[in-house]
Chains A and B, each alone.
Chain A
Amino acid sequence: MYNLNKFFIPLAVFLLVTFSSFAIAEKIGHYGVGKTASEQQIKGWDIDIRPDGKGLPKGQGSVTQGEPLYEAKCASCHGSFGEGQGRWPILAGGEDSLTEERPEKTVGSFWPYASTLWDYINRAMPYTAPKSLTPDEVYAISAYVLYLNEIVEDDFVLTDSNLASVKMPNEENFYIDDRPDSTNTRCMKNCKNPADIEVVQPLAGITPEQEKAPVKEKAKSTSSLSELAIQGKATYQSSCFVCHSSGVAGAPKVSDKDDWNKRIEKGFDQVVTHAIDGYSGNTGIMPPKGGNLSLSDEQVTNAVHYMLEAK
């Protein structure tokens, strides 16, 4: 009995301490989870730019430097003059169109701040290889897009210190959400004259069919592929798929073997050279390595093997 009591006393003290510390945790609402983010860690991820220039890294790029970069990395989707290919975004033009029946909301006609352009190119472009550009390349391409919109002259150099002073034509035309803007009432009877009702019928033939599940792309059998083509498949899917599955910018579609055969007549090496170094001509635009310069020549070559062999 004596021994048992001796055991109980420390246990009781222990429980008391434990419970009181629970209580403290609940009271202060502070949990102490996570680790302090170091300056270096923050620097690696903190990529955002504001209209006042906050966040811009040191650097610069000229319109002249931007032109070849834009041609190589942007024009295949956005067009050489920012006019847009297919349904890819139009970047230039559209001045004074915002009140028209079909407004064109481009960088020049609509975007309120130049910082947005820099920020977006830096975080999300080129589409197939986001976050692959150096700061100077982003300055140069941003300068070129501003030039395409006639916001800067052809000798302009965009820098971290002058970006915030680039005035965009449409800046003043944005205002904070002021909804609710409509004032309907809960009328229950005689809310309108039935004779005034005019029924507008839908446009026919543009609704996708729903009757059956969408046709899935047939699982491409890899059994008939060569070793190199199998190795190239992942590269194709990550860096080539966007253009070569849809045929954008004149890209030969993987499924269009006739188109590929025409190109291969000039020799496999020629096709690979165009894939690695880029190509621009009557048949379309191929950015070097599809815009993803982190790919090795070997990876690009294997992706070409894959596109030639895949059915």
Chain B
Amino acid sequence: MSDTNKTTTAKTHIAEMASNVPVSSRRDFLKKGVQYTAGIATAVTTGGALSGNLPPEVPNWSKSLGAGVLTKPYGMPSSFEKNVIRRTVPWLTADRISSISMSPLQDLKGIITPNGLFFERYHSGIPDIDPVQHRLMIHGLVENPLILDMDDLARLPSESVINFLECPANGGMEWRGPQMEALQFTHGMISCCEWTGVRLSTLLDEVGVKPEGKWILAEGADGSGMSRSIPLEKALDDALVVYAQNGERLRPEQGYPIRLFNPGWEGNTSVKWLRRLEIGDKPWHHREETSKYTDLMPDGRARRFSYEQEANSVITSPCPENPWKTKGVYQIEGLAWSGRGKIKHVDISVDGGVTWRPASLNGLVLSKSFTRFSLPFKWNGAPALLQSRAIDETGYVQPTLSQLRDIRGMNSIYHKNAIHTWQLQTDGKVKNVQLK
């Protein structure tokens, strides 16, 4: 195939896709040739100069000088990656100050989420905190109540862990039926990064918890004073007070200068902008553990303190944002995670769960972390119902949606970790569907 033909094909493809875009944005879409799929974007964004940069021609960028050091003192992704961004579903919340945005899982590689793409969740917006004036107070049922500044925390032994952090509402829009035609919106309320900080148990040793101390109230310094009751066992197990993510200080979105971090637990317990830890003998039953973040069951009763994020997985390629374009060999790829430990197996089905084949786990397989899986697949153009099923080291098998609904009904909002189904169509496009 000549280059000219390739260009035509690509343009035709873009035009086809543009026909699916509402008229209002179609002109913009065509004009800019905005990235829809990576391969095509390269062809179109370069427009008329396309052939000039491809073999046998020598590309323009090979015949000139590029930008020098410190052009961007804080580096940013290539301008061709401008579509790799967090996004929100505007009708979910009343405004953007108390709201959520999702990570673009469809574009991420490996297991680390870059800090600028970490999903966001605020209850009163992002406070702008001067670390010099920020304090962590630890008091209550302790021998020696303390106030620590950020330098004090830096003097204590630190640890780094790679763990995911997931909002328990991840997937919550899909309890009643498939709604979101995009991976970013069905599963994007999760991110994974390296966290660095001090073990909470180290801090508790400093204050000396009295024998009757069984619970800890964690409270944020934001307007909402976000607060959650945490059992002492978690504090003594693996909870951290973290000040860094992926090698740099926490982003303001993630709790700068410090946040609590409870590995494997629902994200809101990892209270951001942490200002206070109070040790008590009972839980506090605050708003974010009664009115919200409790799971309403079909009998009208509700689960509380449902902290753990159970094993879950999703196929990230193909997905609605990453369609397949031609027949041939592909890797079915995806992400799996469990709040109870390591991922042990991931199985993949292409026939809606009739038969399953084990996928290989790739790269690091860490406890309470994203785990990558893949399975080579030769696609002959036939439609398929793609599913992934995670099994963690406790033996827990990710449930089907029917199994979850049979127990929990459709109104529990949180903790929907059901096997997800993508419908691969003959044209290679992918739809979000559910199986009865």
Contacts and interface: CB of A to CB of B under 8 A. Distances in A.
A209 B25 contact: yes
A31 to B, nearest CB: 6
Contacts of B397: 184-186
Interface string B86-112: 011111011101100000000000000
Contacts of A98: 296, 300, 302
Given A45-B276, A187-B356, 19 more contacts: A36-B145, A46-B139, A48-B219, A77-B94, A98-B300, A98-B302, A111-B290, A130-B124, A174-B301, A177-B305, A186-B347, A194-B351, A201-B178, A202-B180, A207-B180, A208-B88, A209-B22, A211-B25, A248-B94
Nearest to B177: A200
Interface string A166-192: 000000011111111111111111111
A60 to B, nearest CB: 22
A268 interface: no
Contacts of A182: 399, 403-404, 407
Contact of B304 (A29, A45, A177, A181): A177
B227 to A, nearest CB: 6
A144 interface: no
B400 interface: yes
Given A184-B400, A190-B355, A197-B352, A177 B303 contact: yes
A267 interface: no
Given A51-B285, A184-B397, A212-B34, A130 B178 contact: no
B198 to A, nearest CB: 10
Interface string A41-80: 1100111111110000000000000000000000001000
A34 B147 contact: yes
Contact of A210 (B148, B184, B398): B184
Interface in B264-293: 275-276, 278, 280, 282, 284-287, 290-291
A49 B290 CA distance: 14
Contacts of A199: 352, 385, 421, 423, 433-436
Given A173-B302, A210-B87, A31 B145 contact: no
Interface string B387-430: 00101000011111001100110010001000001010000000
A34 B278 contact: no
A169 to B, nearest CB: 11
A181 B95 CA distance: 35
Contact of B282 (A50, A181, A245, A246): A50
- Indicate the size class of the contact surface on chain B: 35 or more
Contacts of A248: 94-95
A208 B97 contact: no
Nearest to B93: A87
Nearest to B282: A50
Given A88-B94, A176-B305, A198-B435, A112 B423 contact: no
B236 to A, nearest CB: 13
B355 A31 contact: no
Interface residues of A, number: 83
A262 B225 CA distance: 39
Contacts of A213: 82-83, 85
B161 interface: no
A115 B391 CA distance: 41
Given A124-B224, A184-B400, A30 B206 contact: yes
Contact of A112 (B89, B223, B290, B432): B290
Contacts of A116: 285-287, 290-291
Given A182-B399, A201-B433, A208-B88, A130 B224 contact: yes
Contacts of B291: 105, 107, 110-111, 116, 120
The CB with the most chain B CB atoms within 10 A, among A48, A49, A88, A197, is that of A48
